[in-house]
Structure 1
Amino acid sequence: MKRRLSIHNLTPAQVLSLGYLVVILLGAILLTLPIATTNGEGMNFLDSVFTATSATAVTGLIVENTSTFFTVFGQVVILCLIQIGGLGIMCMSTLFALLLGKKITLRERLIIQQDLDQFELSGIIRIVKYVIGVTFAIEGIGAFILFIRFLFDMPAGKALYFGIFHSISAFNNAGFDIFGNSLENFTGDIIVNLVITSLIVLGGIGFAVIAEVYSGKRFKNFSLQTKLVLSVTAILLIVGTIISFILEYSNPATIGNLPLGEKVIASYFLSVTPRTAGFNTVPTGALRSSTIFFTIILMFIGASPGSTGGGVKTTTFGALAAVLYSRATGRDDIELFKRRLGKETIYNALSIVLIALLLVVTVTMILTITEEAEFLDLFFEAVSAFGTVGLSTGVTGSLSIIGRIVIILTMFAGRVGPLTIALAIGERKDKVNIRYPKEKILVG
């Protein structure tokens, strides 16, 4: 006898995927309303789905200019989708449930655990409250500083709105802006650059890492997760800044004509924003091919687990780097900071990277068939969508219908996570464990 299709029969991965899909569709419907656009006609459904997916997946890729095409209502809808997507759908659902006095069931706690990338189930509601509190606190501080800065350029009401919008967008690594040209007007502005990059980094390192750093422990007493996240993040930021500075130093279309101090600031921003943020202070399309390719690598790695960002994650990159080091030095164990990584962790890391590579390669292949653009630009677009980054060399607005659908699916997969998507499709409740005889094959 067949079981009836019910949400109670769905796995946590399937519930998460379905939940994000519902939020996207609701957001898309709101963006089709006449009140959402400045022309009073609403957005066509495909483009509204694209925009809603980009916002919920905290990506930032756009087919219409957010500042001129959408009314304040439309922009607020996008901002709400960014907040839901950044915090996680289960975090927001739990917030409303707690406000209504609703009890959180064990099943709901399991889904929250997967959505927040937590190791343990115990104390999960406390973690949700902490995540929500930290998010609003950091966004509030960022909005206040930006508000003060924008007061020099615009009326108080507008400055407050712009401060709130860009603080939420930056912390959630979304990259949506309402200036019309991202942050290109602030290339050398130290305040805007430091506030935005700080919000991006804080949103991208993960809430558990923020909590451990805030606890006042010394680095040697941090958990392996926190040590790895902080180390890989620092290395990527430093190396990214140096390489971006060298590659773009003499490029007159980006930082070539800037004073030395502003070149350093712009290079630092170039190393931060590919970590799934999507803002830019210099024209992305004007970057040299070498810089674009290097940015693709940074976008693919992305942010950290349990954060508002995407990509394969810094810990995945760190774990695989440890595998290579261990094999090169002839070690049997995979070690990091005098700790040994388990096989399951390595298998998960390999699975995530392989699924991500397969997805990016497939998407790029499709785009090269359906779109008339340079290969590197299409490759950049595919990785940007998967990593929920939002940077583009300028091809997003000219994508065909098929191209837009492909990018929509890629952004969705990037936000939910490649492994979660795979589990949602292939996970079975009734598993049969069979072990077959072992045999060797030659590799390499």
Structure 2
Amino acid sequence: MKPAAKKFELKPPQILVLGFAAIILIGSILLSLPVASASGQPTPFLDALFTATSATCVTGLVVVDTGTHWSVFGQIVIILLIQVGGLGFMTMATLFAFVLKKRISLKERLILQEAMNQGSMEGIVRLIRKVIRYSLTIEAIAAVIFSIRWSFDLGVSRGIYYGIFHAISFFNNAGFDLFGSVTGKFSSLTAYADDWVINLVSMMLIILGGLGFVVISDLIEFKTVKKLSLHSKVVLSATGILIGVGTIVIFVFELTNMKTLGPLSWSGKFLASLFQSVSPRTAGANSVDIAGLRQATQFFIIILMFIGASPGSTGGGIKTTTFTTLVGAIVAMIRGKEDIVLFHYRLGKDRILKAITLTMIALFLVIFVTMLLSTTEDHSFLMILFEVTSAFGTVGLSMGLTPDLTEFGKVMIALTMFAGRLGPLTLAYALGPKAEKELYRYPEGKITIG
């Protein structure tokens, strides 16, 4: 290969960024067509771009109601974008390669490794096969249950359509829903706040989609190997603790709030609290009015959205493993220990530095966008912070700001969703110069901390 050709060769992170951007552009063009809207009128390109970005980045923030604004064609475009965006365009490309019996090249394996956030290429194609098989199986089972349940309310054909759409949307942690045409615009699952079937299936989809495919694979193979990897142990422990603590906090804060849990039965209060604890893990669906929550609850949900799901999943945020590493560092420092130990394993310094770097970049991004929008959007600071964090965590929960955003606000939120889906470090690697090995090290210095 010529040196000039090598100079312009794209790195895996750059291919991921360009790939997602291309999918968003194609989706935007399709959604801006007259046939994509229920009225038959073309949708403004910026609104189409925002929706395509939200769908591809599996977020769920919308400037127009999905159930009433888009035609069946537009809704199908959205759900295809969600499926491609959730599993990753490289995973979908690999699926076609499997169908066509095409060999996966070394470069493609490197891109898959980056896309799935894996430490090595070993077993990456085998993992992709599992991702595709597990995803389609889980979505199919949930679609059948949803279809049966909603057939009683909406009729058989509409119930099946809604079942398939929401199974894909919720498993990919997208949060898009079609109930605007049934229970009112932007209503999400508020009409089913005390429906055990809808809530339990939705939560299982959200949790499974947010655990990550490596963890799902470990759980399925547990009967055979009788052991879980450290990664799976950390993810499952952190997920369980965050959901449990979140349920208790939301239940206590909202118990007497007549705008949210107040009117529900005791079982409904518990179910709604549990659902609102699961949903901020990047799902975006809600069974109570988010704008009606108390400010303390809204701020607590911001924290949950910032933490997000787990690595290698369909969700965003800084990830549960990053959060656990930071908590481990705090505990180790307080106890005077040099190492962070999780489940009798010591974490390497590179894992700790990566966790700190990722968290700081994410924090700066959320703060920067929030400050910008505070000058352009005529809404409260908490409302703006909530929306920006929701966009970064690819959550999709909203206090009602998104439909009222200015054009500048829509662009900033769209860029935040894009950064959140790809991950701050992936973007930094894609946009930054190629790392070169240092030929020397500076002498160690000491500064006073704290």
With structure 1 as the length reference, what TM-score do the two structures score?
0.97
| Aligned AA (1:283) | D
**2:205 match:** 199
**2:184 match:** none
| Aligned AA (1:80) | L
Q: What are the superposed Cα offsets for residues 44-72 of structure 1, whole Å, 9 maximum, x if unpaired? A: 11111100000000000000000010000
Query: How much does 1:215 deviate?
Result: 1.4
Query: How much does 1:168 deviate?
Result: 0.4
Q: Where in structure 2 are the equivalents of 1:100-139 lying within 5 Å?
A: 100-139=100-139
**1-structure distance, mates of 2:6, 2:295:** 50
Tell me how large the CA RMSD over aligned residues is.
Answer: 1.6
**1:77 match:** 77
Structure 2 CA distance for partners of 1:429 and 1:98, relative to 1, 3 Å: farther
Query: How much does 1:335 deviate?
Result: 0.7
Q: Which range moves more in the overlay, 6-15 or 228-237?
A: 6-15
1:239 aligns with 2:268: no
User: Aligned to 2:339, which of 330, 333, 336?
Assistant: 333
**2-structure distance, mates of 1:135, 1:268:** 24
**1:316 match:** 322
| Aligned AA (2:87) | L
Query: How much does 1:264 deviate?
Result: 0.2
**1:43 match:** 43
**2-structure distance, mates of 1:280, 1:389:** 11
Q: Which range moves more in the overlay, 207-216 or 77-86?
A: 207-216
Any conservation in 1 of the 2:203–2:279 contact (CA below 8 Å)?
yes
Structure 2 CA distance for partners of 1:429 and 1:107, relative to 1, 3 Å: farther
| Aligned AA (1:81) | L
Query: How much does 1:214 deviate?
Result: 1.3
**1:366 match:** 372
| Aligned AA (2:33) | L
Any conservation in 1 of the 2:222–2:228 contact (CA below 8 Å)?
no
Q: What are the superposed Cα offsets for residues 245-284 of structure 1, whole Å, 9 maximum, x if unpaired? A: 0000000000111111100000000100000000011111
SS at match of 2:239: helix
**Tell me, which stretches of 5 or more residues in structure 1 are unaligned?**
none
Query: How much does 1:3 deviate?
Result: 6.0
**2:265 match:** 259
User: Aligned to 1:407, which of 413, 418, 421?
Assistant: 413
SS at match of 1:228: helix
Query: How much does 1:117 deviate?
Result: 1.3
**2-structure distance, mates of 1:150, 1:221:** 39
**2-structure distance, mates of 1:44, 1:317:** 39
**1:98 match:** 98
| Aligned AA (1:117) | N
Structure 2 CA distance for partners of 1:385 and 1:152, relative to 1, 3 Å: same
Any conservation in 2 of the 1:7–1:15 contact (CA below 8 Å)?
no
**2-structure distance, mates of 1:202, 1:104:** 27
SS at match of 2:152: coil
**Tell me, which stretches of 5 or more residues in structure 2 are unaligned?**
181-186
Any conservation in 1 of the 2:55–2:85 contact (CA below 8 Å)?
yes
Q: Where in structure 2 are the equivalents of 1:152-163 lying within 5 Å?
A: 152-163=152-163
**1:394 match:** 400
**2-structure distance, mates of 1:411, 1:431:** 33
**2:26 match:** 26
Query: How much does 1:223 deviate?
Result: 1.1
Query: How much does 1:285 deviate?
Result: 0.6
**2:352 match:** 346
Any conservation in 2 of the 1:322–1:334 contact (CA below 8 Å)?
yes
User: Aligned to 2:295, which of 280, 289, 292?
Assistant: 289
**1:422 match:** 428
**2:183 match:** none
With structure 2 as the length reference, what TM-score do the two structures score?
0.96
**1-structure distance, mates of 2:41, 2:381:** 35
Any conservation in 2 of the 1:59–1:385 contact (CA below 8 Å)?
yes
**2-structure distance, mates of 1:283, 1:359:** 27
**1:436 match:** 442
| Aligned AA (1:54) | S
Q: What are the superposed Cα offsets for residues 63-117 of structure 1, whole Å, 9 maximum, x if unpaired? A: 0000010000000000000001100111011111222232211011001011011
Query: How much does 1:8 deviate?
Result: 6.6
